[in-house]
Amino acid sequence: MKGMGTRRGRLGKSVHDQSLGVFARTLEATCARYGRGFVKVSRWFPSTQLCSGCGALSGPKGHAQLHLRTWRCGCGAVHDRDEHAEANLRAEGRRLLAAGRAER
């Protein structure tokens, strides 16, 4: 798998997409077995750009600003890009699960 997923291989992206799909299906089956909720958040959800304090969409945008690992919102909150994205995705998943709009 590792060798097939390299940039030199023609199927690199397809191989990686396949592995994530298998992981998601396995995780969904495990959650169903133990009675836990499983939610897929949209891939277009702006998790790294959304401020959890004020809800403003003021974070770094696009590929040009991927090098910014921390950013400050207009409300004064300072966010680490990765930790903040995880918190936003968790909150969105809980919101979707509570609203009953989880993808099945």
- What lies within 8 Å, CB to CB, of 47 at 6+ separation is 41, 84, 85, 86, 88, 89, 92
Query: What is the rounded CA–CA span in Å between residue 54 and residue 76?
Result: 10
Residue linked to tokens 């992206």: 13
- Domain segments of the chain: what residues? 1-38, 39-104
Instruction: Please give the model's pTM, rounded to 2 decimal places.
Output: 0.69
- What are the tens digits of pLDDT across the range 18-52? 677 788 889 999 999 999 989 988 888 888 888 88
